Amino acid sequence: MITTVIISLNVLQIPQDHSGTPTSRFGKRARPLLIAFGALLWLCHASLYSGQSLAVPYHPIDALISAAGKRYRRWEKENTWTGTLGMAVVNYRTRYGRHAPPNFDKWYDFAIERNSTIIDEFDNIFTDTLPFYSLSPGELRRRTAEDIAQLDNGVEGITIRNGKAESVRQIPEDHQWQLDAILNMMKDFVEYLPDMDLAINLNDESRVVVPYEENEKIYAAAMGAFLKPMRRRPRNIFSRTRAQGWPKISNDSIEPFHVSKPFEPIFDTFGSAHCHPQSAARAAFPWNTAKLCQRCLTPHSHPLGPFPNNSFAQDICHQPDLSYLHGFYASPSSFRGVSQLRPTFSQSKAPGFRDILYPSPWNYADRSGTVYAPNDSFPDVSFQEKEDTLFWRGTTSEGFATANGRGAWKGMTRQRFVAQANFPMEQNVLLPYIEEVNRWNYHRLSTAQLQAYFHTNVSIGHPIARCMWFDCDDQVNFFDRTHIDFQTHWRYRYLFDLDGAGFSGRFIPFLQSRSLPFKTTSLFKEWWDGRVMPWWHYIPVDPRLVGLYSTLAYFMGVDTTGDDQAVERGMDIKWKGRVEEAEKMAERGRRLAEKVLRKEDMEVYMFRLLLEWGRLVDENRDEIGFTL
């Protein structure tokens, strides 16, 4: 089991040749920076020590893949639809304890026409909307109008009247396209939606947090309202006069009620507000940033190594170190938060946030340029034909690096990953145990060995962005930047995915390809959460990056036979790795994306979400529903 993990965050060591010149391809830029400023990057350098022996009886990833397969097969069995509308209605009542919303039959026909395999399981919608039963329909309508009316807040409105939808007001094109994409997503079913207004968060960052002290009250009130006895024969129609109940959107901006905290730490004020007061995230937690917080890592890791083991990895209440290891918490670019339950629709949300998730316009409209579109110049060849390399290009968009406090960028996941891939420090890596079959051992590998054994192609892909003054200069001097066509990704077997300021728009295109995605355990939940299984469709990596090289070794394999130094130390290993398993996993992810992550699936999800929301804001929500 893991007993000691040490992380060096305050010293960056760059491998040198005998002349003293840095050997990294970043060396020419990095050397003068190190001379001038000393070590700047908080680089996750992890060393694993396991009791009296470094040997383990099996590889943890074998067990994690096996367990993930069992979970997925159960999920797939439940979500392979061969039933009827009547069965869907019964299943809805059984699963959620109340009648389906009005026009459920229209939604069912829409889903079947689009070959949706998922008819019953929309638990994310249930989870997102349940807290809002604590508020009356009138209060939800009032808060929606307030959110939309507050100008320059990053929230805009969509209004639906008489089966037609439009944006409340025209806004600059850099955001208007998002509203247009949502309207396009709705166009084939908007005629079946009730009159209502929607408050759409246009920023990347989620914004709605309910403090722990208020959560119990809200859920008690919500469950009390939700679990009222069902009418035996509800009315299958939304209230006809509901348009009159929506407040007129004011053209005058109202007094701000959101807290604007761009470029400031938000972990204490918003990020951990939902956690128990005695949790590690909120309690007094003496912390040395020069060492890894093992208490933060162990609860969600496999007992035999730092490999993410369960959904607990997305619970930040035991992970206070994320306060400076992720840009969203350390220094967000445009965060506007509110400590009150408000009906705001967002593309993704961080742990504990209460935003209502909807499918992202970035993926639906192919806006970001990160679309899966192989061509003659950039074909998506078979997995075996791809280069055996871990590949990443991206921007410094995770957070905003300011000269205030100087250096927040050093803790951000993207910058740490680029450094880890190019300047790997000596660490233990789990490899086959040379003396016994089916046993594994943590072998100590040097910087040169890590660079030689594991092929990575990782760098910043655009000019340094989202920074000020010294923090811009420091990053310009430290990082090389090489821009590529996005379609270049399909040359490589392993594609790394990282959070940005919010969710990553690349993950679905990566799944659609014949490559295998590696993905840091994302802070941000999206609409498809629960459909895609870690360790079955992609490889999760802890955001501290401590298990990265052991994971690469598992799939890429290791050949030390040409390394005289390794052989002399008794580390004579020639192991192919689980290449076939990697290929199977990549293919499973591709088939899944073709089945449940299509644009049609986004439309099906959005239709059902808006029927549920339409009922929530209906004055007669306890009296309406669908039955046969």
Count: domains in the chain: 3
Q: Please indicate, yes or no, whether residues 421 and 488 belong to a single structural domain of this protein.
A: yes
How far CA 294 is from CA of 24, 254, 313, in Å, comes to 30, 46, 13
Confidence bin at 228 (pLDDT 50/70/90): confident
Instruction: Give the amino acid at 169.
Output: R
Q: Please indicate, yes or no, whether residues 374 and 342 belong to a single structural domain of this protein.
A: no
Residue 387's SS3 state is strand
Q: Please indicate, yes or no, whether residues 314 and 420 belong to a single structural domain of this protein.
A: no
Helix residue ranges per DSSP H, 2-122: 27-37, 60-78, 85-96, 104-113
Q: Please indicate, yes or no, whether residues 490 and 581 belong to a single structural domain of this protein.
A: yes
Q: Please indicate, yes or no, whether residues 58 and 180 belong to a single structural domain of this protein.
A: no
Report the C-alpha dihedral over residues 157, 354, 312, 450, rounded to 10 degrees. 40
Q: Are strands 259-260 and 336-337 parallel, antiparallel or unpaired?
A: antiparallel
Region for 156 from its dihedrals, namely left if φ exceeds 0, alpha if ψ lies in -120 to 50, beta otherwise: beta
Residue 362's SS3 state is helix
Instruction: Give the amino acid at 362.
Output: W
Sign, CA dihedral 622-623-625-627, equals positive
Q: Please indicate, yes or no, whether residues 239 and 206 belong to a single structural domain of this protein.
A: yes
The conformation of residue 618, written as its DSSP 8-state character, comes to S
**Domain-located, residue 79:** no
**Domain-located, residue 380:** yes
> Measured between alpha carbons, how far is 550 from 68 in angstroms, rounded to an integer?
19
Residue 215: predicted pLDDT: 93
Q: Please indicate, yes or no, whether residues 351 and 303 belong to a single structural domain of this protein.
A: no
> Measured between alpha carbons, how far is 444 from 449 in angstroms, rounded to an integer?
10
Report angle CA 27, 30, 36 to the nearest 5 degrees: 140
DSSP 126-144: HHHHGGGGGS-HHHHHHHH
Query: In the predicted model, what is the mean pLDDT of residues 584-600?
Result: 98
Query: In the predicted model, what is the mean pLDDT of residues 598-602?
Result: 99
Residue 420's SS3 state is helix
Sign, CA dihedral 361-543-469-395, equals negative
Confidence bin at 51 (pLDDT 50/70/90): very low
pLDDT at 2 over 50: no
For residue range 79-95, what is the model confidence (pLDDT) as tens digits? 989 899 999 999 999 99
Residue 226: predicted pLDDT: 87
Which DSSP helix (H) or strand (E) runs through 164? strand 164-167
> Measured between alpha carbons, how far is 608 from 515 in angstroms, rounded to an integer?
32
Report angle CA 453, 522, 494 to the nearest 5 degrees: 30
Of the listed ranges 21-25, 70-74, 111-115, 263-267, the one predicted with least confidence: 21-25
| 3-class SS letters over 455-520 | CEEEEECCCCCCECHHHHHHHHHHCCECCCCHHHHHHEEEEEECCCCCCCCCHHHHHHCCCEEEEE
Confidence bin at 7 (pLDDT 50/70/90): very low
Residue 405: predicted pLDDT: 53
Q: Please indicate, yes or no, whether residues 405 and 496 belong to a single structural domain of this protein.
A: yes
pLDDT at 196 over 90: yes
Confidence bin at 357 (pLDDT 50/70/90): very high
Query: In the predicted model, what is the mean pLDDT of residues 432-445?
Result: 77
Query: In the predicted model, what is the mean pLDDT of residues 261-271?
Result: 93
CB 44 within 8 A of CB 420: yes
Residue 343: predicted pLDDT: 98
Q: Please indicate, yes or no, whether residues 133 and 217 belong to a single structural domain of this protein.
A: yes
> Measured between alpha carbons, how far is 339 from 350 in angstroms, rounded to an integer?
14
Confidence bin at 255 (pLDDT 50/70/90): confident
Instruction: Give the amino acid at 61.
Output: I
**Domain-located, residue 624:** no
Helix residue ranges per DSSP H, 252-302: 294-297
Report angle CA 90, 614, 603 to the nearest 5 degrees: 75
Residue 30: predicted pLDDT: 46
**Domain-located, residue 626:** no
Residue 253: predicted pLDDT: 63
pLDDT at 272 over 50: yes
Average pLDDT, rounded, for the chain? 88
Domain assignment of residue 526, given as a range: 4-67+369-596
Instruction: Give the amino acid at 138.
Output: G
CB 17 within 8 A of CB 386: no
414 Cβ partners below 8 Å, 6+ apart?
327, 394, 395, 396, 397, 398, 498
CB 396 within 8 A of CB 532: no
Report angle CA 68, 70, 76 to the nearest 5 degrees: 100
This prediction's pTM: 0.91
**Domain-located, residue 76:** no
For residue range 123-149, what is the model confidence (pLDDT) as tens digits? 999 999 999 999 999 999 999 999 999
For residue range 522-570, what is the model confidence (pLDDT) as tens digits? 889 999 999 999 999 999 999 999 999 999 999 999 988 888 887 777 7
What are the phi and psi torsion angles at 447 (to 5°)? Answer: -55, -45
Residue 348: predicted pLDDT: 97
**Domain-located, residue 625:** no
How many helices (DSSP H) and strands (DSSP E) are in the chain? 20, 19
pLDDT at 347 over 70: yes
Confidence bin at 29 (pLDDT 50/70/90): very low
Q: Are strands 440-445 and 456-460 parallel, antiparallel or unpaired?
A: unpaired
Query: What is the total residue count of the chain?
Result: 628
> Measured between alpha carbons, how far is 357 from 502 in angstroms, rounded to an integer?
13
For residue range 155-192, what is the model confidence (pLDDT) as tens digits? 999 999 999 999 999 888 888 999 999 999 999 999 99
Query: In the predicted model, what is the mean pLDDT of residues 93-103?
Result: 96
Q: Please indicate, yes or no, whether residues 298 and 353 belong to a single structural domain of this protein.
A: no
Q: Please indicate, yes or no, whether residues 483 and 535 belong to a single structural domain of this protein.
A: yes
> Measured between alpha carbons, how far is 330 from 592 in angstroms, rounded to an integer?
34
Report the C-alpha dihedral over residues 119, 123, 125, 128, rounded to 10 degrees. 180
Confidence bin at 230 (pLDDT 50/70/90): confident
Report the C-alpha dihedral over residues 476, 477, 480, 481, rounded to 10 degrees. 10
Residue 299: predicted pLDDT: 93
Report angle CA 577, 580, 584 to the nearest 5 degrees: 135
**Domain-located, residue 24:** yes
CB 348 within 8 A of CB 360: yes
Q: Please indicate, yes or no, whether residues 536 and 399 belong to a single structural domain of this protein.
A: yes
**Domain-located, residue 526:** yes
